[in-house]
Amino acid sequence: MSKPKLALYWASSCGGCEIAVVDLEAKILDVAGFFEIVLWPCVMDFKYKDIEALPDGDITLCLFNGAIRTSENEHLAKMLRAKSKVMVAFGSCAGDGAIPSLANFYDKDSIYEYVFKTCPSLEESSRGVYPETKTTMPEGEIEIPVFWETVKTLDQVIDVDYYIPGCPPQTFQIAAAVEAVIDILQNGKPLPPKGTVLGAGDKTCCDDCTRVKSEKKIKKFYRPQDIITDPEQCLLEQGIVCMGPATRNGCEALCMKANMGCRGCYGPPEGVLDQGAKMVSALSSVIDAQNPEDAKKIIDTIADPLGTFYRFSMASSILRRVQKKNNK
């Protein structure tokens, strides 16, 4: 019997998810032994046309990381969906948009303007040269992918079976998920219900955090560089914006162990539609103010609340993007 086929693809992503897979160390040999890897552009040389030539549903498992930002990302997502039996949104970019979807604070024109015209590190000769999607060369016409206005999550363009959140997903969680998949395939066990979040819990990060938590009354928020924090006490109580209350657990509270507030990378917990809105709700309950003026003063000490609360979930949030300036 031939081996089940595995595809790993990166769309709009940083490559951190690939590193997390490679961090499986010796276990990666089990993966390579069990599966036939048919696509992994970061690590090995494959051609898209070979994937296109496969029959539909031929790939058993596809781990897709990265958000959908260009026409190429969307094309590959649709192609891999057709060719794969099980599609997994791997990492926070594919699941919630994450860092690439911070581009949804801007639009294509303003991003192009900065990147190709006003950015200080541009060489003078290339300043103001914008990319053309189609260019005619002596050898013929060449094309580059089209850049979308709005970054999307994977499940906004194709049907997704499972999610493995994290930026990147923790290696021990990937190992557990991969072992579970191998177990299911080898022993003919049933697959978990569609839409299941694998490799993470269904509570919040606070649930895993070992810091001492007492009643919270916050008078001022600090940026991490402005304060020396107590290593035992809840960071939120000390005025550090910690996304723990609005973030899914699964990382074993790594950032808090390193004296940093949770950044929110595992995305919203089970049943939460909008991570940022939940964070507004959580912080509003602990701000020590009895009138709107005091509340505003305290909230104004948070640097960039929108960017902080939606750092990892702008594309999957209810509003999905910041409205353009001409819109009310």
Partner 1 sequence: METQIKSKENFNPRIVAFLCNWCTYTGADLAGVARMKSSPSVRVIRTMCSGRVDPTFVLKAFKMGADGVMIGGCHIGDCHYSEGNFKTLRRVEFLKIMLKDFGIDPKRLRLEWISASEGDKYAHVTNEFEKELRELGPLVLQE
CB 80 within 8 A of CB 64: yes
168 CB-near residues (< 8 Å, 6+ apart): 16, 17, 19, 20, 91
Determine which residue in the list 70, 150, 259, 301 makes contact with partner 1, applying CB under 8 A: 150
Q: Quick one: which of 94, 83, 231 has its CA closest to 160?
A: 94
Is 191 or 295 the residue whose CB approaches partner 1 more closely? 295
Task: Verify binding: residue 157, partner 1, rule CB under 8 A.
Answer: no
219 binds partner 1 (CB under 8 A): no
Binding mask 174-203 vs partner 1 (x if CB under 8 A, - otherwise)?
------------------------------
Stretch that binds partner 1, among 35-43, 76-84, 202-210, 297-305 (CB under 8 A): 297-305
Q: Is 280 in the site for partner 1 (CB under 8 A)?
A: yes
Query: Per CB under 8 A, does 284 bind partner 1?
Result: yes
Q: Are strands 134-137 and 140-143 parallel, antiparallel or unpaired?
A: antiparallel
Cα distance between residue 40 and residue 65, in whole Å: 11
Q: What is the dihedral of CA 304, 307, 309, 313, to 10 degrees?
A: 180
Q: Pick the closer one to partner 1 by CB: 214 or 285.
A: 285
Nearer to partner 1, 225 or 291 (CB): 291
Residue among 71 and 150 whose Cβ is closer to partner 1? 150
Q: Is 39 left (phi over 0), alpha (psi -120 to 50) or beta?
A: beta
Distance, CA of 200 to CA of 277 (rounded, Å): 21
Is-contact 56 82, C-beta < 8 A?
Answer: yes
Would you say 82 or 322 has its CB closer to partner 1? 322
User: Stretches 81-89, 187-195, 206-214, 283-291: which one binds partner 1 (CB under 8 A)?
Assistant: 283-291
Residue with tokens 């290339």: 126
Verify binding: residue 291, partner 1, rule CB under 8 A.
Answer: yes
Which one, 16 or 276, has the nearer CB to partner 1?
276
Does residue 287 interact with partner 1 by CB under 8 A? yes
- Binding residue for partner 1, selected from 274, 311, 312, 313, defined by CB under 8 A: 274
If binding is defined by CB under 8 A, does position 278 make contact with partner 1? yes
Q: How many residues bind partner 1 (CB under 8 A)?
A: 36
Cα 305 to Cα 222: distance, rounded to the nearest angstrom:
12
Question: Is 277 an interacting residue with respect to partner 1 (CB under 8 A)?
Answer: yes
Residues in region 130-149 near partner 1 by CB under 8 A: 149
Give DSSP secondary structure letters for 212-237.
B-----BS--B-GGG----SSB-TTT
Distance CA 81, CA 65 (A): 13
- List the end-to-end C-alpha distance of the chain, in Å, as a whole number: 61
Question: Which residues are near partner 1 by CB under 8 A?
Answer: 149-150, 272-274, 276-278, 280-281, 283-285, 287, 289-292, 295-296, 299-300, 305-306, 309, 317-325, 327-328
